[in-house]
């Protein structure tokens, strides 16, 4: 479904990603873990086209998307929930959702399970009372819910999540975990970046570890639990 | 008693003058501010498009024999000139940094100035208000030129129309989202460059519209662009770069300060605007209504 081959990327003069290889299979949840500053967010930004691919190829559904602008990648069905959530504060919750829905209707070759506003509210009932509030007024947890709901309004073929648990209270993390597990059961392909090993292993079919701008380990959650050396090398704090 | 009545009508008159000036400022600043908000681009030549609107309007009125045709077509021509500018210069300058943008668009002011000199000469040209609006209206104990009322109405209509589009339509939501966070808007599939181009063209058309509308009152002169550029920039800065509400509020404030300043304290009136600008910048560096948090 998504494949990175020898991808190089960075900011301005600085190169952050070197020779990144990653493969996400259709219907899988693939988690990428790694220390602060390892380059996880940089990789996601490169996948969605916010940062240019300097070297290598990004393929999505067999098609080379390395040179497509971000909006066209979104149209192919890549939805992104950034680390900072990036809810539009000047727009109401409803408008945030509607904006994403513009992409959904044709649904050709895309996930037929994209949501409409009612389904977002079924999934995140807390947002119902907030529909007409502006994005500025949401709590951190509500922003995260809206960011996920907004991404699902795009009827994505691939849902990319950057640290969805960051800064949330344990109870909320558990709630988001449940919600994402429910999404997984719907066969939606998810690429998840996480710091929280428990959260990632509860959800992921496959795990990759990232260190210093490269994928340094790849396997299942069970294999990672046994591989204490990899944990110590690439995750330990 | 006679004096009080005189006084009241005098102030009503000044209020209408201020309102009319504010509407001209609004038509200019709204394009400038939205273009800045979206493109992060300072187009100093925006006021030159206003001047071009006035001159093109005068020629078109002569050609078609109708002010109304001029009011309709001149903004479209100015929009075409804006589109040409966009493809030749502005699209390329978008990533060139503010200093280069200021230098190039400052240079453009003189290019347009000379082009107008070559095309229309150096003397002020007038434009007659259309017959239907050439008289005065009597109300609230005053006589007021109907053409000036028309400008107030035109500005108000554009204001309401823009508010409706920005606040109530999908394309308006797309624009607000792109002003706030370009990257996230693109990640949602919005073709931000096309949206920017569209908004840029509309902003240019409004500058042209302001130019034609101003011609019957102010006459077209080669300095009209430069004269209005400074107050327009001040409106944009105190209102808040990129903010429609800011442009409305800023235009009204500067319109009223300018007109009432000239009446109440003529010797300080020029200073008043700048004092206000400084005060706003100290108190709210992002303007009265900031578009970005
Ligand atoms: N906008 C930027 N400009 C320049 N360098 C950046 C920028 N954003 C991140 N970096 C650098 O790129 C490197 C990788 O950052 P990145 O955000 O991808 O890490 P991360 O793995 O997502 O970390 P975290 O877990 O803290 O989110 C870091 O060294 C960081 O300082
Ligand atoms: Mg990160």
pLDDT of B7-58, one tens digit each?
A: 888 899 999 999 999 999 999 999 998 888 777 888 899 999 999 999 999 9
Residue of B nearest to A151 (CA): B188
How many angstroms separate the CA of residue A230 from the nearest CA in chain B? Answer: 34
DSSP, collapsed to helix, strand or coil, labels residue B222 as coil
User: In sequence order, what DSSP letters do the residues of A14-82 get, joined into one string?
Assistant: EEEEEEEEEEE-TT-EEEEE--TTSSHHHHHHHHHTSS---EEEEEETTEE-TTS-HHHHHHTTEEEE-
Is residue B186 within 8 angstroms of chain A, CB to CB?
A: yes
Residue with tokens 């996920």: A148
Residue A209 corresponds to which tokens in the numbers above? 């570890």
Tens of each residue's pLDDT in chain A, 237 residues: 999 999 999 998 899 999 999 999 999 999 999 999 999 999 999 999 999 999 999 999 999 999 999 999 999 999 999 999 999 998 999 999 999 987 655 555 556 667 788 889 988 999 999 999 999 999 999 999 999 999 999 888 999 999 999 888 888 899 889 989 988 888 789 999 998 888 999 999 999 999 999 999 999 988 888 888 888 888 875
CA dihedral A38, A42, A46, A47 (to 10 degrees): 70
Q: Which of A88-97, A165-174, B235-244, B283-292 has the largest mean confidence?
A: A88-97
Nearest partner of A219 among A21, A37, A41, A30, judged by Cα? A30
Residues having CB within 6 Å of any atom of ligand 1: A 11, 14, 16, 34, 36-42, 83, 195
Q: Check B176 against A91: CB less than 8 A apart.
A: yes
Question: Cα B28 from chain centroid?
Answer: 1
Quick check: B118 pLDDT over 50?
Answer: yes
Q: Which of residues 146-185 of B touch A (CB under 8 A)?
A: 170, 173-174, 176-177, 179-181, 183-185
Q: Count the Cβ atoms, other than its own, within 10 Å of residue B290.
A: 15
Structure confidence at residue B177 as a pLDDT band (50, 70, 90) = very high
CATH domain B2-283 topology = ABC transporter involved in vitamin B12 uptake, BtuC (1.10.3470)
All residues at 6 or more sequence positions from B190 whose CB lies less than 8 Å from its CB, including other chains? A71, A99, A102, B174, B177, B178
Residues 6 or more apart from B263 whose CB is under 8 A from it? B14
Q: B182-199 burial, b for 16+ CB within 10 Å, e for fewer?
A: bbbbbbbbbbbbebbbeb
> Tell me, what's the pLDDT at A112?
64
Q: How far apart are CA A135 and CA A137, in angstroms?
A: 5
pLDDT of residue B293: 45
Q: Which residue has the tokens 């102010």?
A: B218
The answer to whether A60 and A135 have CB atoms below 8 angstroms apart is no
> A50 and B183 in contact by Cβ < 8 A?
yes
Ligand 1 atom closest to the Cα of residue A39 is 18
CA distance between the termini of chain A: 33
Of B126, B130, B123, B165, which Cα lies nearest the Cα of B151? B130
Do residues A15 and A28 lie in contact, with contact meaning Cβ atoms separated by under 8 Å? Answer: no
Nearest ligand for residue A33 CA: 1
Close Cβ partners of B61 (under 8 Å, ≥ 6 residues apart): B67, B69, B70, B127, B128
For B62-70, the CB contacts below 8 A with 24+ separation are: B66/B130, B67/B127, B67/B128, B67/B129, B67/B130, B67/B216, B68/B130, B70/B127, B70/B212
Give me the pLDDT at residue B48, please. Answer: 95
Q: How far is B170 from chain A (nearest CA, A)?
A: 7
Spell out the residues 6+ positions from residue A167 whose beta carbon is closer than 8 angstroms to its own. A140
Q: What is the mean pLDDT of residues B2-6?
A: 57
Look at residues B94, B102, B103, B115 and name the one whose alpha carbon lies nearest to residue B39: B94
Q: Which ligand is nearest to the CA of A196?
A: 1
- Residue A89 and residue B293: Cβ atoms within 8 Å? yes
Distance CA A190, CA A79 (A): 10
Cβ distance B190 to A71 less than 8 Å, yes or no, reads yes
Spans of all domains in chain B = 2-283
Among candidates A82, A102, A136 on the partner chain, residue whose Cβ is nearest the Cβ of B184 = A82
pLDDT tens digit sequence for B57-113: 999 999 999 999 999 999 999 999 999 999 999 888 877 888 898 999 999 999 999
User: Three-state SS across B78-117?
Assistant: HHHHHHHHHHHHHHHHCCCCHHHHHHHHHHHHHHHHHHHH
Average pLDDT, chain B: 90
Question: B191 at the A interface (CB within 8 A)?
Answer: yes
Q: Which of A216, A213, B72, B207 is nearest to A232 (CA)?
A: A216
Q: Looking at residue A113, what is its pLDDT?
A: 65
Chain B residues with CB inside 8 Å of A100's CB?
A: 188-189
């Amino acid at each position: 479904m998504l494949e990175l081959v020898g991808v190089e990327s960075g900011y301005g003069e600085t190169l952050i990603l070197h020779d990144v290889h990653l493969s996400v299979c259709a219907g899988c949840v693939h988690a990428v873990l790694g220390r602060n500053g390892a380059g996880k967010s940089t990789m996601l930004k490169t996948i969605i086209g916010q940062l240019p691919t300097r070297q290598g190829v990004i393929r999505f559904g067999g098609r080379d998307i390395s040179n497509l602008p971000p909006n066209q990648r979104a149209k192919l069905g890549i939805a992104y929930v950034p680390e900072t959530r990036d809810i539009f504060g000047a727009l109401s919750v409803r408008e945030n959702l509607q904006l994403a829905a513009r992409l959904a209707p044709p649904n050709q070759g895309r996930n037929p399970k994209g949501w409409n506003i009612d389904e977002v509210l079924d999934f995140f009932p807390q947002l119902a009372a907030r529909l007409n509030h502006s994005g500025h007024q949401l709590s951190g947890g509500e922003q995260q819910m809206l960011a996920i709901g907004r991404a699902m309004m795009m009827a994505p073929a691939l849902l990319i999540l950057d640290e969805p648990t960051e800064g949330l209270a344990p109870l909320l993390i558990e709630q988001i975990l449940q919600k994402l597990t429910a999404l997984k059961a719907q066969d939606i392909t998810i690429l998840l970046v996480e710091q929280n090993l428990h959260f990632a292993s509860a959800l992921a079919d496959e795990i990759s570890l990232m260190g210093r701008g490269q994928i340094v380990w790849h396997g299942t959650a069970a294999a990672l639990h046994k591989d204490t050396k990899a944990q110590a090398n690439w995750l330990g704090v | 008693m006679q004096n009080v009545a005189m006084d009241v009508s005098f102030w009503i008159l000044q209020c209408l003058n201020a309102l009319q000036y504010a509407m001209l400022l609004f038509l200019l600043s709204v394009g400038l501010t939205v273009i800045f908000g979206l493109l992060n681009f300072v187009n100093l030549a925006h006021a030159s498009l206003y001047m071009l609107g006035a001159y093109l309007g005068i020629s078109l009125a002569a050609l078609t024999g109708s002010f109304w045709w001029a009011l309709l077509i001149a903004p479209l021509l100015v929009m075409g000139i804006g589109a040409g500018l966009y493809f030749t210069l502005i699209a390329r300058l978008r990533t060139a940094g503010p200093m280069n943008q200021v230098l190039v668009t400052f240079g453009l002011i003189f290019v347009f100035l000379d082009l107008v000199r070559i095309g229309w000469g150096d003397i002020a040209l007038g434009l007659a208000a259309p017959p239907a609006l050439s008289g005065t209206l009597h109300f609230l104990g005053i006589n007021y030129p109907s053409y000036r009322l028309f400008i107030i109405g035109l500005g108000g209509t554009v204001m309401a129309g823009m508010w409706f589009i920005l606040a109530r339509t999908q394309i308006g939501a797309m624009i607000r989202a792109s002003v706030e966070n370009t990257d996230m808007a693109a990640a949602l599939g919005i073709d931000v460059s096309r949206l920017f181009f569209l908004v840029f063209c509309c902003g240019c058309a409004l500058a042209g519209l302001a130019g034609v509308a101003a011609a019957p009152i102010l006459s077209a002169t080669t300095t009209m662009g430069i004269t209005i550029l400074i107050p327009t920039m001040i409106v944009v800065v105190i209102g808040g770069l990129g903010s429609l509400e800011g442009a409305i509020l800023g235009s009204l404030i500067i319109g009223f300060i300018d007109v009432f300043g000239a009446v109440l304290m003529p010797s300080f009136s020029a200073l008043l605007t700048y004092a206000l600008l400084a005060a706003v910048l100290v108190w709210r560096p992002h303007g009265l209504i900031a578009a970005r948090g």
